[in-house]
Structure 1
């Protein structure tokens, strides 16, 4: 069960990370490009309007289902009873839960705050009261936070896999050493 649940968590996390990677082009225009220009804001607005705001509902349900499946599997792994589960899976569950909270508290409201139509050009694209800049900047920064948290989940899961593999190898070596000692004792006794 452990390997299967780890695989499900890694697949779900990778899927969610992939959905975030799709938005890198729009996020780059808003967060990482300097200076932010009005055409880059309009391009990011058009991207988000066409991909996330007007996305069919079954895509959203699918994304929520994959996220929920990953969270449930992490919770099941935490409650699995092994000592390493508390360290690796507990930290993964924290990051995964924090990602869910950021998504629901920052991304969903920012998507709802985007204007339905492309806004008219303003004099200053960096106007702090701009009804396009603020939601786009919130979306881009939240996507960056989510990406870091989900990469953290992947690193923790791979660390747990490596730790368990090393532990199994040590157990095999201990058993082999025990068998060698028993053979030597038997050889001496004869």
Structure 2
């Protein structure tokens, strides 16, 4: 067997019937990821004055941001439930794609799952915890005191803004990896199609040549 054919199919070969489920699972990953990025983009106008500008942030802004975060944290239970369902859909998509994985799945989907898990950890440990601190108002009177483990009001709000930025970068990484997987599989499919076309052309040329040789031999015998 041609070693080139073996190397190509070793990276692209998948069990039959997986293409449809794989594309749907990819949609289950990309959909929630874009949904979370939309939520973070809605927070960007609040985070921008804290992280991305050199101008001094007025104290009134912290009052406004604190009131907004308290309102978000006090939202009806249906809101966090929808968010958690979206998170679960993303994990379900990864589990579907990583069931009997190919080499491509292990590389791209494995890294995507790691980033997605990091995003969930950032959400639980930083954002949810920060919202609870803002709601309760349990800021540390002396920012940076390691013995208490709490930050001051301004620093706590900056940590929340930085956590949103980190989470956005992690989710963008998930999208980049999924796009890279699609490109790699598309490239491998093109290579396979090109190789098969070349093989068919070679077989057609060989059969045509053998057919012509047989015809000439038969005509000589007849004479």
State which structure, 1 or 2, has the greater radius of gyration over its C-alpha atoms.
2
With the length of structure 1 as denominator, give the TM-score of the two structures. Answer: 0.88
Match of 2:112 in 1: 92
- 2:189 counterpart (158, 168, 176): 168
Match of 2:174 in 1: 153
1:140 aligns with 2:155: no
Q: 1:47 Cα shift?
A: 2.2
1:61-119 CA-to-partner distances (Å, cap 9, x unmatched) read 111110111022113323332101111101100000000011001111100000468xx
**Which ranges in structure 1 are unaligned for 5 or more consecutive residues?**
118-126
1:17 aligns with 2:37: yes
Q: Is contact 2:22–2:96 with CA below 8 Å preserved after alignment?
A: no
Output aligned runs, 1:57-136, within 5 Å: 57-115=77-135, 128=143, 131-136=152-157
Q: Matched residue of 1:23: which SS?
A: helix
Q: Is contact 2:98–2:109 with CA below 8 Å preserved after alignment?
A: yes
Q: 1:59 Cα shift?
A: 1.0
With the length of structure 2 as denominator, give the TM-score of the two structures. Answer: 0.76
Q: 1:131 Cα shift?
A: 4.4
Q: Is contact 2:127–2:163 with CA below 8 Å preserved after alignment?
A: yes
Match of 2:15 in 1: none
Q: Is contact 1:30–1:41 with CA below 8 Å preserved after alignment?
A: no
Q: Alignment RMSD, CA only?
A: 1.9
Q: Matched residue of 1:22: which SS?
A: helix
Aligned residues: 181
**Which ranges in structure 2 are unaligned for 5 or more consecutive residues?**
1-20, 145-150, 212-223
Match of 1:188 in 2: 209
Cα separation, 1, equivalents of 2:126 and 2:100? 32
